[in-house]
């Protein structure tokens, strides 16, 4: 079992609601473009950064919350 909770949300409103429901926890957030049919974000910087971020998640504090927030389709 993971020592942190991962929450996937879509958009700012969902993010704010989910964060407010977890007050008192350490919060970490990763914002990314929406995922395409191949399972990748349309944002090339997000595609490069995500494996690095995920590689460090083992260092998150016990009981913390990691939010994966998709911010929308390509403008």
Instruction: Point out the residues that are catalytic.
Output: 43, 46
DSSP β-ladder status, 27-32 and 64-70: parallel
């Amino acid at each position: 079992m993971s020592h942190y909770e991962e929450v996937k949300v879509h958009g700012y409103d969902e993010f704010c609601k989910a964060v407010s429901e977890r007050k008192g926890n350490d919060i970490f957030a990763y914002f990314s473009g929406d995922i395409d049919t191949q399972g990748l974000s349309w944002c090339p910087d997000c595609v490069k950064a995500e494996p690095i971020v995920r590689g460090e998640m083992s260092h998150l504090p016990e009981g913390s919350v990691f939010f994966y927030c998709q911010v929308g389709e390509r403008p």
